[in-house]
Amino acid sequence: MMQIENFKTVVERYQYIFFDAYGVLKNNKGLVEGIEQTFLHLEEQQKEYFIVTNDASRSPMQLAESYHRLGLKIVDHERIISSGMLAKEYLDLKVNDGIVAYLGTENSAHYIESSGLHTLPVREVNESNIDQVNALVLLDDEGFDWFGDLNKTVNLLRKRTIPAIVANTDNTYPVNQKEVSIAIGGIATMIESIVGKRFIRFGKPDSQMFMFAYDLIRERNPVSKKDILMVGDTLHTDIIGGNKFGLDTVLVLTGNTQAKDAETRIHATGIVPTYICENAVVG
Amino acid sequence: MMQIENFKTVVERYQYIFFDAYGVLKNNKGLVEGIEQTFLHLEEQQKEYFIVTNDASRSPMQLAESYHRLGLKIVDHERIISSGMLAKEYLDLKVNDGIVAYLGTENSAHYIESSGLHTLPVREVNESNIDQVNALVLLDDEGFDWFGDLNKTVNLLRKRTIPAIVANTDNTYPVNQKEVSIAIGGIATMIESIVGKRFIRFGKPDSQMFMFAYDLIRERNPVSKKDILMVGDTLHTDIIGGNKFGLDTVLVLTGNTQAKDAETRIHATGIVPTYICENAVVG
Amino acid sequence: MMQIENFKTVVERYQYIFFDAYGVLKNNKGLVEGIEQTFLHLEEQQKEYFIVTNDASRSPMQLAESYHRLGLKIVDHERIISSGMLAKEYLDLKVNDGIVAYLGTENSAHYIESSGLHTLPVREVNESNIDQVNALVLLDDEGFDWFGDLNKTVNLLRKRTIPAIVANTDNTYPVNQKEVSIAIGGIATMIESIVGKRFIRFGKPDSQMFMFAYDLIRERNPVSKKDILMVGDTLHTDIIGGNKFGLDTVLVLTGNTQAKDAETRIHATGIVPTYICENAVVG
Amino acid sequence: MMQIENFKTVVERYQYIFFDAYGVLKNNKGLVEGIEQTFLHLEEQQKEYFIVTNDASRSPMQLAESYHRLGLKIVDHERIISSGMLAKEYLDLKVNDGIVAYLGTENSAHYIESSGLHTLPVREVNESNIDQVNALVLLDDEGFDWFGDLNKTVNLLRKRTIPAIVANTDNTYPVNQKEVSIAIGGIATMIESIVGKRFIRFGKPDSQMFMFAYDLIRERNPVSKKDILMVGDTLHTDIIGGNKFGLDTVLVLTGNTQAKDAETRIHATGIVPTYICENAVVG
């Protein structure tokens, strides 16, 4: 009943292609087979592309390097829009001085640092510096002690009326074919409900992510949203986000949504992609 | 402890001012006293302004007329950004043909009509036309029979896998100093949870509203978000939305948030405005 | 993989059987075929049974009559435990005087009336009597004007700090094979979230329903929970409620849970019945 | 406006008194001053009492010892009803063999062990024993490694369709006057939402807790719910739970609800105690 379309044919109709990363370009086994072809084809056809990814644990530069290591040499860091970039922009615009406390690795904190701000892991917040803490950012599920530092985070938010930012909307991420890990987005939801405060969340399905890429295009060329295609594997981030921003969308079956239950899920959620394709490979 | 600042002094620091409408410019008794002065002052100072309002029940033209009738003659419809405009844009971009079923008044439906689309009140959906219904839009809490048409809406969404759009994020709106009415946003939440589907919501705090106004400015002049001030009375729409978009924000005390509990609510929600002012009047 | 067991064989292991009504004994086409046999068999075997139903729209007497009309003559009203009985008990114990405002039919209100209390439809609450309103009860989705009376209900709960009771945990009920109606439980959820107050809910999965039946048995005979079997068609009311109360449970496939997706739903929800049977018919 | 009543006068009207523990009998500084007097008075007046507490981290025996150490020698373990007792009863009735995996200290697991069951900390679940795991119980926030064991718990629940039980409804507990710790109830909510499964929760406000104490009384004497008073410091557990079970309730101001915001909170939540008293001390 559900019609599976050829990705190459779909792509022909658009001038700009936005890709989700995990589940579209790669998965827990490495690159999706043949995905290099897609990017060669796009360059040949002079179509422009962006990778729009909910990831705040690394800089776009480091994300690009991770693709290079997997064998996808063609992807430049300037083609990557991450939710971490929005968190960084927020801090640049809205937090002018003091300390930004964070949960995550040192590396994740390095990227968000900016001129006037000092980053500090939550575990190092104490009576002597807590009054200078002007924001909290949740970056990664690793790099801290969950028991000690999550309890510290709850008490920090009870004591200080500061913005709390999380640049990841996922509850879990896959670690292998059978198992998942709790993502920093899932932890954020727990902390948010415990302290009763509203976090500022960046990342798909929020339109700010799509706007970031859209603006990069518009800076150079006039463009209509009708010329942009969003390709993703997840209904409640990539597809509803793309739809809401006014883009046509492709659901691919190489990640979170499997062929056997795509139709059921689309009906159950009411989130309808413009097209469904096996994968994002131009075969 | 909480510092109340002078609105005129705050406004001096910005080139562009975004205003929420209800609770800032007017309330259930009419215009906020002296608000005309603010707009005269802005024009004198050659500052640009937009009214950014969660309202899908009327066109910007009709909204402007309602201000004129109240005595605020200066506001032109081109200065008004409504969530209904986003719903209309969505339909233009994403729904190409067929019927758009709606809940609301005939007037509210008139505005969202566009070339290829036919609008139809939910009560007129039946076996003969249901297969052509390609979207559902919730526009207003009036203009339909709640018992009959809400039940019809639930069954429409069970039978058809179509996008459902609501351009109002509020649960209620005030009708006089003591009483409220259930808004179409509150009804949407009920239907959404009953059918288990995800609605597409337009309106503050979503960044698409702010982007719409931001784009209108950028079309003519280069602008930094640092030059824009958002003025609102509601923490969980105006203030968190403005903050997240990267704007500085003013909480005014003439609407949803009263002086006596502003500080408590800011602490309880963690939503922190850049400034707090008594009102948006340049005295 | 999922093992379907014979209902008669399962029943042999228990002395007391609790049945859900809708989806087990009857559905939208009338009685489940052959269900009379089950009750004849139970009486023959001297096993005791109760019908435990989330229904506050009628008295047990009227519920029994509705079974008689369908042809199930054997069921006596003393065998019926309804969530309306708990609402009535609550009013008897906790609300001593004044007015109980209600949403529902006159008939539904008749049953909950008790010595010191006066019931009044929400539409008749006004300035002159609102101060005597000491409780609100949501009984049925019919018998009132949704637009007018739901808005009145919201304002009543904003003005008066009184308990609000709903004796129905369902969001919808089936009206025919293809369509559902919004139940008073679904309306209650909307009102609850709009006014931000906590309603008192009676009905499965809450243990008070099971306790009511359990107490009726214990009054006459000592009994262990191990001797009681709960039979239902709905995982999130009958099965989780029965399990939590410590009873063994049978999921039947004649109502809300269909054979083709029983296993998927059990895995997805983590709500595991002790047995699964095609139906509750002793063939 | 809010009337504060004398606890001694209130108590005179009832034959049986149920007390919450934390915030009523003790707090983070030790026993509530003078609380011993209350129990002497009750014994003198031949009134019966029970302590009804949401605690699954220790046995009633150990809970009683903790009161003795604080100086409240009079409280016998037979007077203590804990949510852990309900978890234990559930396992006795419903899980007949195999392994019960748990999060908590060894001590907390010791109490729930019963004849046919073997308890195992989540960290020791592995490929060789996972198929024998027939239930998961969340007992305490200490005694395990949060990062490793919470991730293991998520994957256990994805692989095994088993009941997950938590006997604590609180998100946090106070550790001193300024700080709180995340309770196992808060962790349970996170895991529940991540795996999308429904946990079985024991503890106030659920009526099974009150029923447990009620049954202990009824075994010896006939009793009406009108003769029982529930005393607690928390609206959304003690007070709504007591009310719903049909008991009269006292809100005391020595714990979660402070004098200055009692009235606001009662109005905001719609949870109305029968009485408000400064404390539970018979002075």
pLDDT tens per residue across span A227-244: 999 999 999 999 999 999
State which residue of chain B sits closest to C145, comparing Cα positions.
B147
Could you read off the pLDDT of C231-282 as tens digits, one per residue? 999 999 999 999 999 999 999 999 999 998 899 999 999 999 999 999 999 9
Answer for the pair A164, B270: CB distance below 8 angstroms, yes or no.
yes
Confidence category of residue C96, pLDDT binned at 50, 70, 90: confident
The verdict on a CB contact (< 8 Å) between A180 and D154 is yes
Distance from CA of B279 to the nearest CA of A (A): 23
Mean pLDDT of D235-243: 97
Distance from CA of B2 to the nearest CA of C (A): 27
Distance from CA of D148 to the nearest CA of C (A): 22
What was the pLDDT predicted at A113?
86
State which residue of chain D sits closest to A176, comparing Cα positions.
D155
What was the pLDDT predicted at D261?
86
Mean pLDDT of A96-107: 94
Of D192, D152, D149, D150, nearest to D169 (Cα)? D192
What was the pLDDT predicted at A2?
75
Chains touching A (at least 3 CB pairs under 8 A) are: B, D
Run of H or E including C62 = helix C60-70
Mean pLDDT of B112-124: 89
Mean pLDDT of chain A: 94
Q: Are strands C30-31 and C26-27 parallel, antiparallel or unpaired?
A: antiparallel
Please report residues of C whose CB lies closer than 8 A to that of B171: 193-194
Query: How far is residue B174's CA from residue B181's CA, in Å, rounded to a whole number?
Result: 6
Confidence category of residue A96, pLDDT binned at 50, 70, 90: confident
Mean pLDDT of chain C: 94
> Which residue shows structure tokens 């923490």?
B235
State which residue of chain C sits closest to D266, comparing Cα positions.
C161
The residues, ordered by sequence, that sit 6+ positions from A181 with a Cβ below 8 Å of its Cβ are A141, A172, A173, A174, A175, D151, D154
State which residue of chain A sits closest to D190, comparing Cα positions.
A190
Top pLDDT among A130 and B220 is at A130
For residue A231, give the 3-state DSSP assignment: strand
Distance from CA of D186 to the nearest CA of C (A): 19
State which residue of chain D sits closest to C248, comparing Cα positions.
D94
The verdict on a CB contact (< 8 Å) between A270 and B244 is no
Confidence category of residue C1, pLDDT binned at 50, 70, 90: low
Please report residues of D whose CB lies closer than 8 A to that of C207: 206-208, 211
Could you read off the pLDDT of D68-104 as tens digits, one per residue? 999 999 999 999 999 999 999 999 999 989 999 999 9
Distance from CA of C91 to the nearest CA of D (A): 9
The verdict on a CB contact (< 8 Å) between B193 and C189 is yes
Q: Which residues of D touch C (CB under 8 A)?
A: 89-90, 93-94, 157, 161-164, 195-200, 202, 206-208, 211, 225-226, 236, 240, 243-246, 248, 266-272
The residues, ordered by sequence, that sit 6+ positions from C160 with a Cβ below 8 Å of its Cβ are C130, C131, C133
State which residue of chain D sits closest to A171, comparing Cα positions.
D194
Answer for the pair B87, B165: CB distance below 8 angstroms, yes or no.
yes
Answer for the pair C28, C59: CB distance below 8 angstroms, yes or no.
no
> What are the backbone angles phi and psi of residue A208, rounded to the nearest 5°?
-60, -35
Mean pLDDT of B260-283: 94
Residue A126: exposed, middle, or buried by beta-carbon count in 10 A (0-12, 13-18, 19+)?
exposed
What was the pLDDT predicted at A29?
86
Confidence category of residue D270, pLDDT binned at 50, 70, 90: very high
Length of chain C: 283
Mean pLDDT of chain D: 94
State which residue of chain D sits closest to C222, comparing Cα positions.
D219
The verdict on a CB contact (< 8 Å) between D194 and A178 is no
State which residue of chain B sits closest to A166, comparing Cα positions.
B244
The verdict on a CB contact (< 8 Å) between B182 and C194 is yes
Mean pLDDT of B220-234: 95
Mean pLDDT of C184-199: 94
Structure tokens belonging to residue B63: 């909204």
Could you read off the pLDDT of A258-277 as tens digits, one per residue? 898 899 999 999 999 999 99
Query: How far is residue D191's CA from residue A186's CA, in Å, rounded to a whole number?
Result: 9
Q: Tell me how many residue pairs between chain A and chain B have CB atoms under 8 A apart.
A: 88
Q: Are strands C80-82 and C48-53 parallel, antiparallel or unpaired?
A: parallel
The verdict on a CB contact (< 8 Å) between D270 and C162 is yes
Domains of chain B and any CATH numbers: 7-54+207-277 (3.40.50.1000), 85-201 (3.40.50.1000)
Answer for the pair C197, D269: CB distance below 8 angstroms, yes or no.
yes
What was the pLDDT predicted at C170?
87
Of C245, C252, C255, nearest to C231 (Cα)? C252
Mean pLDDT of B5-19: 98
Mean pLDDT of B94-101: 94
Cα D251 vs. chain centroid, distance in angstroms?
Answer: 17
D211: nearest CB among C197, C199, C211: C211
- Whether the pLDDT of residue D16 is over 80: the answer is yes
Largest Cα–Cα separation, chain D: 64
What was the pLDDT predicted at A1?
55
Could you read off the pLDDT of B103-115 as tens digits, one per residue? 999 999 998 887 6
What was the pLDDT predicted at B114?
74
C240: nearest CB among D198, D208, D248: D198
Confidence category of residue B28, pLDDT binned at 50, 70, 90: confident
What was the pLDDT predicted at D1?
55
The verdict on a CB contact (< 8 Å) between D155 and A193 is no
Q: Which residues of C touch D (CB under 8 A)?
A: 89-90, 93-94, 157, 161-164, 195-200, 202, 206-208, 211, 225-226, 236, 240, 243-246, 248, 266-272
Mean pLDDT of B52-61: 93
Mean pLDDT of D115-132: 94
Distance from CA of D78 to the nearest CA of C (A): 21
The verdict on a CB contact (< 8 Å) between B195 and A270 is yes
Q: Are strands D16-19 and A172-174 parallel, antiparallel or unpaired?
A: unpaired
Mutate one of D142, D155, D166, D177 to test the A interface: name it (highest A CB count within 10 A): D155
The verdict on a CB contact (< 8 Å) between C146 and B147 is yes
Chains touching B (at least 3 CB pairs under 8 A) are: A, C
What was the pLDDT predicted at B1?
55
Distance from CA of A71 to the nearest CA of B (A): 36
For residue B135, give the 3-state DSSP assignment: strand
- Whether the pLDDT of residue A283 is over 80: the answer is no
Distance from CA of B72 to the nearest CA of A (A): 33
CA distances from B66 to B71, B80, B108 (A): 9, 12, 15
- Whole-structure pTM value: 0.94
Mean pLDDT of B137-147: 97
- 3-state helix, strand and coil shares in percent for chain A, rounded to the nearest 5: 40, 20, 35
Please report residues of C whose CB lies closer than 8 A to that of D89: 246
In the DSSP assignment, the letter for residue C276 is E
Could you read off the pLDDT of D182-231 as tens digits, one per residue? 999 999 999 999 999 999 999 999 999 999 999 999 988 899 999 999 99
